Amino acid sequence: MPDILIFSRIRSTFVEQVAENKLCAVSQLTDTVTEAMAEIVVRTPELEIVDTKATIVRATFRPPTDAAELAARVRGVRIGPGMKKIIRGLIGDTQETRQLAFMIEECCNAVILSFTKDVLLQTPEDKRGEKDFYRNMVKENIRLYNRCAAFAPGSPLVEGIEPPS
């Protein structure tokens, strides 16, 4: 019987309110070669990262520094414009640290998206109106581009939108 290459990936990110003025965002990744988790606690309304946790159980490329220590570097950062550059500047932009930086960015994006749920409730009922609604939402906040399958390149919801550089 021939060898069959098997690969599976489960990636999830969620946000929950843990106190009146605190949100906790968790990003988890489990695939054939990687198992990692990143968590941030954000104080509202400032959107300041006040606590972090991170673990990398297994990975093809492991950071030279402990994941929890790397994640702690983003404490005090406010979620907003330029955060991707700030996070990569603090954690690093090497092959070994990219996955952790991406997971922390995912947590930050999830916090931002958690504030858009009221906007999403205004989605039109008809299919054409729904498509236009989401396309305009991505145009107004380009950081949504390629952040989920619905807004990925090739999706009809982002047709004609130039990806951010």
Q: Which residues pair with 38 in a beta bridge?
A: 27, 54
Report d(CA 160, CA 147) in Å as an integer: 17
CATH of 9-114, one of 2.40.160, 3.30.390, 3.30.9, 3.30.60: 3.30.390
- What's the pLDDT band for 11 if we cut at 50, 70, 90? very high
Q: What is the DSSP code string of 18-47? A: EETTEEEEEEEEEESS-EEEEEEEEETTTT
pLDDT tens per residue across span 12-56: 999 999 999 999 999 999 999 999 999 999 999 899 999 999 999
- Look up residue 131 and give its two tokens: 């498509």
pTM of the model: 0.76
Q: What is the DSSP code string of 105-127? A: HHHHHHHHHHTTHHHHTT--SSH
Of 52-66, 119-133, 141-155, where does mean pLDDT reach its minimum? 141-155
List the chain domain ranges.
9-114, 117-158
Closest by Cα among 157, 133, 127, 130 to 145:
157
pLDDT tens per residue across span 139-155: 887 777 877 777 888 88
Pairing state of beta strands 48-58 and 22-31? Answer: unpaired
Percent residues over pLDDT 90 in the chain: 53
